[in-house]
Amino acid sequence: MPRPADVRKDLHLGWERIHQLWQLPLSDKIKYSNNLLRKYLKNFDKPVICWSGGRDSTVVLHMIRQVIIDIPVIYVNSGVDFPETVQFIYFLADKWNLNLFVSKPEKEENFWSVGAKYGWPIFGKNIASNVERANRSGNIRPQLSRVEKVLANNKIFISARCTKYVQEKPSKIIEEKLVANIKLLGLRASESSTRVRLWVDHGDCYKVKDYFGKNREIWKINPISIWTDKDILDYHNIYKIPYCELYDKGYLRNGCWPCAMGIRYGQLKRLRIGHPKLFNYLITKTKMGQEIFKAKLVLKKTKFNTKKLSNNLERTLKNYPNFFDKV
């Protein structure tokens, strides 16, 4: 998606600045984050924090509780969260006596319903969005990447809309009930180039117009936007903060277990090894599994004997257990 002209900043200078900030010691970044919280929160009387149970948002939760001990904490249970995530959420909510609010997507807008209607979350947000647009419009633009053109030409049914319905909308319902006027998030620029552009254009805190409807805005603040992976780990170690056991199983994120946005980076391999029952269900029992199988074949990134492949995915997995490790 194009960057909005009214907020677009110099991306080259932004990259230089964020690289400088990434080099700061953790002690300076903690001061930076605390200064942000003090600067902005003094102007808002209805703050909330969105907490996923992941390491990043848990750091933000720990920091804000030094300032506002009873801040409303919003957790969206997608219905397809890892069991370890759900267990950790309620464990820490009890341990820290959190002011916890839990939201869920509507039944007709759950993960499986949204995927069946719009497309499945495979290959990352940019690729999924571009391919969905091409499929919907019938226009395969020249500027699409090779992978996107192959997926679009073969009508691979993918989309990134699940985030809107499964995560953002349920959270917004609670935020509106709480009359929130600013919400804290655990987003970091180092996570992706898209996050860097967001930081360059909007900074650490910015206003979202018409968020709850016309003339009903909210502010978003990312206190750890300039932190790195190492900073997050070091902070957890320094303050002895509990974390979800998923990270000990090799997972880098704790989002929805069927999500395949990171499919090219071993996401399904981690699921196969860490949660074999969930993996087998996804691949053999769901339409999303069929779409992943189709995408694997059309991209021709397989060295397996195609004579042994089958539309029966259970048989394929029996012959090649690691077939979906790399797509």
Same domain, residue pair 1 and 103: yes
pLDDT band of 27, cuts 50, 70, 90: very high
Q: Looking at 248, 272, 288, which one is the last position of a domain?
A: 248
CA angle 176, 180, 182 (to 5 degrees): 135
Read off the pLDDT of each residue in 149-170 and give the average, rounded to a whole number: 95
What pLDDT does 326 receive? 84
What pLDDT does 308 receive? 60
Angle between helices 55-64 and 26-41 (to 10 degrees): 60
Measured CA to CA in angstroms, residue 205 lies from 20, 41, 60, 72, 222 at distances of 19, 11, 14, 19, 6
Q: Report the Cα–Cα distance between both ends of the chain, in Å, rounded.
A: 24
Same domain, residue pair 235 and 89: yes
Q: What DSSP string describes 233-297?
A: HHHHHHHT----GGGGGT-S--SBTT-BTTGGGTHHHHHHHH-HHHHHHHHHHSHHHHHHHHHHH
- pLDDT at position 290 over 80: yes
What pLDDT does 307 receive? 58
Pairing of strands 72-76, 47-50: parallel
Same domain, residue pair 270 and 284: yes
pLDDT band of 4, cuts 50, 70, 90: low
Give 305 or 178, the one with higher predicted confidence: 178
- pLDDT over 70, % of the chain: 94
- pLDDT at position 5 over 80: no
- pLDDT at position 19 over 80: yes
Same domain, residue pair 59 and 110: yes
Same domain, residue pair 94 and 196: yes
CATH number of the domain where residue 231 is located? 3.40.50.620
Whether residue 19 is contained in a domain is answered as yes
Largest CA distance in the chain: 66
Domain count, the chain: 3
Same domain, residue pair 150 and 204: no
Same domain, residue pair 128 and 106: no
- pLDDT at position 301 over 80: no
What pLDDT does 122 receive? 97
- pLDDT at position 29 over 80: yes
pLDDT tens, residue by residue, 171-216 = 999 999 999 999 999 999 999 888 999 999 999 999 999 999 998 9
What pLDDT does 309 receive? 63
Domain ranges, residue 147: 122-158
pLDDT tens, residue by residue, 42-97 = 999 999 999 999 999 999 999 999 999 999 999 999 999 999 999 999 999 999 99
Whether residue 253 is contained in a domain is answered as no
Same domain, residue pair 86 and 180: yes
Q: In the predicted model, what is the mean pLDDT of the chain?
A: 92
What pLDDT does 194 receive? 87
| DSSP assignment letter at 267 | H
pLDDT tens, residue by residue, 216-233 = 999 999 999 999 999 999
- Among the listed residues 13, 50, 10, 12, the one whose alpha carbon sits nearest the alpha carbon of residue 223: 50
Whether residue 4 is contained in a domain is answered as yes
Pairing of strands 218-221, 182-184: parallel
Q: Looking at 158, 185, 214, which one is the last position of a domain?
A: 158
Read off the pLDDT of each residue in 89-107 and give the average, rounded to a whole number: 97
Same domain, residue pair 179 and 66: yes
